[in-house]
Structure 1
Amino acid sequence: MRIDDNCNDCNRLSEIQQFYNGKNVLITGATGFLGKILVEKLLRCCPGVENLYLLVRQKRGKDIYTRIEEIFEDPVFNRLKDEVPKFRHKVVVIPADCEAAGLGLTLSDRQMLTEKVNIIFHSAATVKFDEHLRAALVTNVRAPLHLLRLARDMKDLKVLMHISTAYSNSHLSRIEEKFYPCEADCEHLQNTIDKLTDSEIDKLLPTILGEWPNTYTFTKALAEKELRLNSGNVPLGIFRPAIVISTAKEPLKCWLDNMYGPTGVAVGSATGMLRTMQCDENVTADLVPVDFVVNCLMASALNVHKAYSSSSPPPEPPIFNYVSSVENPITWGDFMKLNLARIDQEPFANAVWYISLTLTKYAIMNQIYIFFLHIIPAALVDGLAVCVGKKPKMLKVYSKIHKFSSVISYFCTREIKFSNQRTRELWQQTSDTDKQIFPFSMREIDWRDYFNDYLVGIRRYLFKESDDTLPRARIKWRRLYYLHQIVRIIFFTFALYAVWSILALIC
């Protein structure tokens, strides 16, 4: 049986498809990476879904309808257009602002949602690790609470799924599918922040964060705590995905639309810009493909609904840790090696140097490497730029690169043991039909096969480089390789000469 056949045959709905049959689904963050895949999957593989209500805000001068039109032009929706060409009537776009009180909804829109919505997926969030605390608190904590208040008024709500992160308690060495203490109080913290300037907040930030490494993980942990305390009778589930990366299978392989996390590392190294990074290559990289994340999220929603509908509902919201390390681990060293294995065949047209990335788990060694491999070359390039009358920019670029790498290094040098028992039990309870339509077992991922096309996905969907550019990119890549080797020979020649000269003086 083909997945396509089962997705579009309303007479043979699987259990998960049946759950979404006739349901109205509210989605926040639909314009984001995970949100796009969720929208696509619901429309393509749940033929009976009634409507998708997408809360969207104006952004960068574009109204919500323009934003949605542009999103549906993304190649990730091409398969949906082919298989379900008349899907647009199910998409209802609602002007909103998750950061505003009451989500910025009009009274009529709010009333409509409370009357019709059955399922909520809260995906909206700021995923910047170094987001300013003021912004992170509003988006990652207060917005979910605004949505929770709306959910309380819904007349036929089956489930509210809040998408958190597996790293909400990353300061711990072991993370299970349960809530952990967070001493901060949302209202008290908000009142404190409102009285301070941004610079004053920055000074107090280490004290506020405590054991948490950044504002992202801190606000995600605080959101979990506040939702737990205020959920009341709302059928709430917490979904914690690990590091979400490009698609593994659907709707097309290795699609992505951002450079967060590992993708930023891959891009930086493959373009020759990132040459050193503090990273323990033996530490597990908890990577999870976004399509598998969405499949598990959709299955989890059904599971949470069943739990709250039973004669003995759960005493607190169920939590699902969605990670790869338990069943199919991959290290950061393997991640880089598998990418390096393909770079000669799939080079980027915008590469500025041949790949040469050094990983070290020691901070002091990384700083030394940064000086020799980043700062000195950048200063030389900027000096040449000034000489020819151009604006220097490389040192500024590397300032941003160092900021990015320092933030992600925390997760590349710490080994965290995750427990995902509830998630594994969910897979065991899933029917064979649903396992075909909504695969989410990480055992099914062949990392070597996956990373064969990882760089291809970056080229096609992130850099918009067609395969026609490959011949020229490969020629450029070979030239960069020879130039890299020449520079290495010159460097080692001077180094040997310097050592020989010093020894000659001593002797």
Structure 2
Amino acid sequence: MASEIVNFYRDRSVFITGGTGFFGKILIEKLLRSCPGLKNIYVLIRPKAGQDPKNRLQDLLSAVAFDNIRQNHPEFFSKVIPVSGDISRDELGISPQDLQMMSETVSIAFHSAAIVRFDEPLKSAIELNVKGVKRMLSVCKKLENLEVLVHVSTAYVNSTRTELDETIYRPLCDVDNLISTLDWLDDQAANSITKSLLNGAPNTYTFSKSLGEAVLNSEAGEVDFKIVIIRPSIVTASWKEPIPGWVDSLGGTTGWFAGSAAGIFRTMYCHTQMAVDLIPGEFPVNLMVTSAWDALKQNRSQQQINPTVFLASTGQNPVTWAQCKSTMYPLMFEYPFSKAVWPPTGSFKNNTLLHRVDQFLYHIAPAYLLDGAFRICGRKPFMVRLHKKATKVLDCVQFYTTHEWRTRSDNTCALIQRMNAIDRAIFNFDSRTIDWDEYLCTYYLGIRKFVLKDELHTLPAARTRMRRLLVAQFSFRLALAVLIARTLLRKSETARTMWHMFGSTVAGYFVSLTSQLF
């Protein structure tokens, strides 16, 4: 049995936006490795920090994610062609020459460029996530051989509902009116009315992505190519491809787990028995690649009325926050970070008051104390700034840690059934195949290796450091207990006698423990 999808991409050229991001890197690597007959991959890259697109492409292809190709088929890299441009500019800032070149060859476009920060100012989010979609459509209409546009959205565009499905609902506001309003408002005025404009949406990211979908929906019946929308849930490190555990940033849940392992994050407001819809990075990418094949296989001759939506979710194989903690926290002691500042003893709180108290005791107060010590020693303070930033991030994701949704992915499940066995193996996006214990272990080790740059050779020193931190933690707690006990038991001779007996026992245990550790 042959792969229909691999054969489909033979001699085709594709155009990708967002190629320099986590998602884009996995997509480029997957196409190069699994579809060797692919002709060219055109990647939109904007000049940045004095680097032209060619140099930025070389940086992109030097990422760890491309190690497999670099070792086995380095000649494949010649298929990746940088296209200078920027989604914030008309026609994406693409030159007429490059546009003509792509028009003659490109048949599939993948649009994944977006602002993904939850706290992005509304004007910026609309500029890239809504106007950017309009600009992408304008370019796609000029690609004479384009057959499919695959757009990356988010599963949470309809998060104000109790069910996440594959339906495009009426937008929360009129897109064109909103754009024209924001165009004449300055940033301060726009920020002051953002909450009312969101109309219940949890943040500017999901709000702007829903409006981007509305733009595509309004155009679907007027263009000559098919439109597909992919809605991934919370995208996390890869499971198996391109490299087990690969992740390149501290965004989202990755930042929480890294901060917990480092002893920096000690509390998070979260309903532990609720499902957290983590999706390994290669799953939505495989769905993107497959959906383009399917769009042309299904009803090739019929005019599309609405975009086809596919939900990339783990709703059929859920994992809870409690499961994540029970699996990953033991790993934080077995494979500690070499630069951990405290043992990973953070916890989830389902009570807001307890969470805020712990934030003060374990985040804010120690940060001010450490910054004070830094100033005395003549060093630059940074802990307060770091924890304020961390608190802001945690507050942004709080909506997702305290809500749970039912999911319906009928289109995605039906697509799996239309694939043959070979393609289901090569382009796996069936979340029912995920082994959560295996994946969460891979995820944590990936954070340690790829984000914090802790290779295996650092383990002995990291374990020694963790043992010392545990002793320091024990000593601190013991000193605190002694201080409290002496205060409470000061006037009782019997209590003092019992306390001395208890103290002698603990001291003996402490001496025995430290002798074993050191």
Q: TM over 0.5: same fold? A: yes
Match of 1:228 in 2: 217
Letter in 1 for 2:310: F
- After TM superposition, list the pairs within 5 Å mapping 1:184-263 onto structure 2: 184-231=173-220, 232-233=222-223, 234-263=225-254
Distance 1:366 1:496, change over 3 A: farther
Q: Deviations over 1:185-232 (max 9, x none)?
A: 333222222222222222111111111111111000110011111232
Matched, 1:338 2:313: no
Which of 372, 379, 384 is the aligned partner of 2:368? 379
1:58 is paired with a residue whose SS is coil
Matched, 1:274 2:265: yes
Length, aligned pairs only: 491
2:306 is paired with a residue whose SS is coil
- After TM superposition, list the pairs within 5 Å mapping 1:78-157 onto structure 2: 78-157=67-146
Match of 2:42 in 1: 53
Alpha carbons 1:235, 1:308 under 8 Å: kept? no
Alpha carbons 2:13, 2:105 under 8 Å: kept? yes
Letter in 1 for 2:55: T
C-alpha displacement at 1:292, in angstroms? 1.8
C-alpha displacement at 1:314, in angstroms? 4.4
1:59 is paired with a residue whose SS is coil
C-alpha displacement at 1:488, in angstroms? 2.4
Distance 1:502 1:29, change over 3 A: farther
Answer with 1 or 2: which has the greater Rg.
Answer: 2
Alpha carbons 1:98, 1:104 under 8 Å: kept? yes
Alpha carbons 2:10, 2:37 under 8 Å: kept? yes
Alpha carbons 1:307, 1:313 under 8 Å: kept? no
Match of 2:349 in 1: 360
Match of 1:319 in 2: 309
Matched, 1:436 2:460: no
Distance in 2 (alpha carbons) for counterparts of 1:486 and 1:464: 30
Matched, 1:470 2:470: no
Which of 160, 165, 178 is the aligned partner of 2:167? 178
1:211 is paired with a residue whose SS is coil
Alpha carbons 1:307, 1:314 under 8 Å: kept? no
Q: Deviations over 1:77-111 (max 9, x none)?
A: 11112332211221111101111111001111112
Match of 2:514 in 1: none
Distance 1:498 1:57, change over 3 A: farther
1:87 is paired with a residue whose SS is helix
Distance in 1 (alpha carbons) for counterparts of 2:489 and 2:183: 63
> Alignment RMSD, CA only?
1.9
C-alpha displacement at 1:491, in angstroms? 3.2
Letter in 1 for 2:238: T
Distance 1:228 1:386, change over 3 A: same
Q: Deviations over 1:446-495 (max 9, x none)?
A: 11111222222112211222211111111111111121222223334445
Q: Deviations over 1:260-307 (max 9, x none)?
A: 111011011011110011111111110111112211111112122223
Matched, 1:400 2:384: no
Distance 1:387 1:302, change over 3 A: same
Match of 1:6 in 2: none
Match of 1:300 in 2: 291
Match of 2:8 in 1: 19
2:157 is paired with a residue whose SS is coil
Match of 1:265 in 2: 256
Distance in 2 (alpha carbons) for counterparts of 1:402 and 1:495: 30
Distance in 2 (alpha carbons) for counterparts of 1:496 and 1:44: 65
Letter in 1 for 2:33: R
Alpha carbons 1:166, 1:242 under 8 Å: kept? yes
Distance 1:36 1:206, change over 3 A: same
Matched, 1:33 2:22: yes
Distance in 1 (alpha carbons) for counterparts of 2:183 and 2:369: 44
Alpha carbons 1:114, 1:155 under 8 Å: kept? yes
Distance 1:192 1:341, change over 3 A: same
Which segments of 5 or more consecutive residues in structure 2 lack a partner in the other structure? 493-518
Q: Percent identity?
A: 35
Distance in 2 (alpha carbons) for counterparts of 1:320 and 1:118: 20
Alpha carbons 1:53, 1:91 under 8 Å: kept? yes
Which segments of 5 or more consecutive residues in structure 1 lack a partner in the other structure? 1-11
Distance in 2 (alpha carbons) for counterparts of 1:95 and 1:502: 78
Distance 1:496 1:237, change over 3 A: farther
Alpha carbons 2:262, 2:344 under 8 Å: kept? yes
Distance 1:230 1:349, change over 3 A: same
Letter in 1 for 2:264: M
More moved, 363-372 vs 17-26:
363-372
Q: Deviations over 1:333-391 (max 9, x none)?
A: 21122110211221111211111112112222211111111111112112212222222
Alpha carbons 2:226, 2:304 under 8 Å: kept? no
The TM-score normalised by the length of structure 2 is 0.91
Alpha carbons 1:64, 1:95 under 8 Å: kept? yes
Letter in 1 for 2:273: N
The TM-score normalised by the length of structure 1 is 0.93
